[in-house]
Amino acid sequence: MNLEPIINAKFKKFREQLELNDIADGNAFEKYVNYVILSSHQPDAFNGDNELLEKVNVGGTHDMGIDGIAIKLNGLLIRDLAEAKDLVKRFPRVSVEFIFIQSKYKSDFDKGEFNNFADGVREFLSEKQRQPHSPEIKSLIKIKDFLISEEAVYKWEDNPNVRLYYVAMGKWHNSKHQLALAEQFKDDVNSLNTYKEPVIHFIDIDGFKGIIDSNENNFEVVLNSIDTMPLTSVDKVDNSCMLLCYASELKKLLSTDEGIIRKSLFDDNVRDFQGDNNINTEIGRTIKEEPEKFALLNNGITIVCEKYTPSNRQITIKNPQIVNGCQTSHVIFNVEESNTVPLVIKLISTQDIEITNQVVRGTNRQNIVLDEAFETTKKFHKELEDVINALSPEYERFYYERRSKQYDHNPSITQYQKLNFRIIVHSFVSMFINEPHLSHRHESKLLDTYSNILFKDYQSKLPYFASCLTFYKLEKLFRKNKLDKPKHYTYKYHLMMIFRELIAGKSPNINSEQMVDEHSRLILNVLKSDDKTLAKFVESIDIFDKTREHWEKELHKSPHGIKDNKDFTLLLLKRVRKNNQHVTDLVDDVDFRYKGKIVKIIKDKFGKYCGFIERKPNNVFFHSNSAKGLNLFNSEGKLVSYRVSTNPKSGQLLAVDVNFE
């Protein structure tokens, strides 16, 4: 089929980036459509992480007539049931959306194919499924069942949204037959009394190109202004002004043709929408109860754009990016009463990236509590990025994509060469902390669990690099069919742990730089050779398979759920070590030495020094009795190492064996 030239060029680039040139055009196109549609919902969803794209691509045998399925929870596309449970526990309120995609690598909108698509979605959303369905769809149904169960329902902000996309590369002519089928489908879903009325999009070639342009912020919008005031001239800034308008004008910018918020506008924002927190609730209250005060009480929006052109009371804005005001924008988009609210917009026209960065920094100086959204802005991650850039060319070139779309400007970097924060957390926790059974957990949960262990400035970056390179090499072996992907891919983090143990033995204390560097170099020496790497992973798979056989046939335990089972991890380690050594668990191990700064020194009632060491979630207490030989006078701010113990009476966590570093 001859695609429209721009779409064809984008499709060709996508195939090259994901190494899909060897699969059929129709199958590759399904993946591309899923990528484009879902990127409009979460622009950074697939950055440096190809696992999610694999999960949403459900087309194939027993696909129920559906090519793509995604489940959104508070704006995030989720991968599995455990992640859904983590996020439901984390947020006080949740919004849920089910997205279904059917794409055709042809020009006509086929009535029968749409009917099959609608039937499959109807079946998916129903309480019971009678059609045969693939394991991939079955896992998504489990997530759906959890999200509409009593365990999650009490946190709903509203009934879940249902959104269908039927995509073909021709012209949509409002077919009465297909519109009638769509109305019947809506009635059937409404009768379930569980979901909001479904939204169905028939996306033709122009609509699809529009979504691509929107994802890349390649569009223009005309806003009607109440008044404007030019700002002073600045070098490398083409134009700038303060713009007063009604919020209804901002909504022209915020809303896509499909009626969802244009998430790509916020790529340069410091943080994503934070939901119903106190600040956003107050913004909503002002809009509803005191709209005339909104412009006085709200800091407004800052927009950087490629160009803007004023004309009387209208301003045409080209390729905008909202760099400050993400929270305000989302509240305005979500609150129906916001249309008549007056709003102040600072509008800056520049094509200089450093000016844009300065604006981002200058307009986001509010005090923010660091969480996983800000973790990658810390010094450690910038240094890790530098280490990866320096060392990876010696092995195979890959990149740490710390920021959304960081390397999109370089078409020579493939999707598989980009590793994101999620992958780094999962790889390190699996390889060096021996917890691959936690690899299904959301990265925010792992960051919280290991907050006193991971990403400390005083730690060596070499083990983090080694775990990243191991992940990259293993992914490549699966992608090139050197290893059995259907049988073993889901256990890749277990294989990485075994791989490390086979090469270097038991993982040392990660705070001991010399020991952990020697350990990491043993692994890196193997990773330099493709043949040695493959041989060690083949050996790792053999150990995994024999352990699984022992688990099932001799221990008579269920083969289901071993991926998430800590006991199975312990059995793997026992076999690879060929003895019954205790497995190090860095969270509970009393011999593990932590590091931290003394944040406070006080005296007890006997005049002896005691104090607190910085630790999450609460600083840990220590007494001079546990810091023998140390002069604690004026020691606040000094770095110490310590072990942890528990007060037998109060259960309070204590720091013991405290030493200056």
Q: Tell me: pLDDT of 369 over 50.
A: no
pLDDT at 581: 46
* pLDDT (mean) for 401-405: 78
Rg (CA), the chain: 27
For residues 281 and 336, the answer to whether their CB atoms sit within 8 Å is: no
The structure tokens listed for 130 are 């009678």
For residues 598 and 640, the answer to whether their CB atoms sit within 8 Å is: yes
Q: What is the pLDDT of residues 168-204, one digit of tens each?
A: 999 999 999 999 999 999 999 999 999 999 999 999 9
In a 3-state reduction of DSSP, which class is residue 643? Answer: strand
CA 641 vs CA 512, 592, 644: distances in Å: 11, 10, 10
pLDDT at 361: 62
Write down the domain spans for the chain.
5-215, 220-362, 374-577, 594-660
For residues 614 and 634, the answer to whether their CB atoms sit within 8 Å is: no
Q: Tell me: pLDDT of 596 over 90.
A: no
The arrangement of secondary structure in 594-660, i.e. its CATH architecture, is Beta Barrel (2.40)
Q: Flag whether the pTM goes above 0.85.
A: no
**Comparison of pLDDT for 214 and 347, the residue scoring more:** 347
Residue 214 DSSP symbol? H
Residue 66 binned pLDDT confidence (cut-offs 50, 70, 90): very high
pLDDT at 359: 78
Q: What is the pLDDT of residues 447-480, one digit of tens each?
A: 888 888 899 988 999 999 999 999 999 999 999 9
The structure tokens listed for 420 are 């994101």
**What is the greatest pairwise CA distance in the chain?**
88
Q: Tell me: pLDDT of 311 over 70.
A: yes
Paired strand residues for 621: 612, 654
pLDDT at 362: 64
> How are beta strands 161-168 and 199-203 bridged, if at all?
parallel
Residue 367 binned pLDDT confidence (cut-offs 50, 70, 90): very low
pLDDT at 583: 44
Q: What is the pLDDT of residues 17-28, one digit of tens each?
A: 888 888 999 999
Residue 551 DSSP symbol? I
Residue 355 binned pLDDT confidence (cut-offs 50, 70, 90): confident
For residues 524 and 466, the answer to whether their CB atoms sit within 8 Å is: yes
Q: What is the pLDDT of residues 601-615, one digit of tens each?
A: 999 888 899 999 988
pLDDT at 585: 43
Q: Tell me: pLDDT of 594 over 90.
A: no
End-to-end Cα distance, the chain: 67
* pLDDT (mean) for 136-142: 94
pLDDT at 588: 43
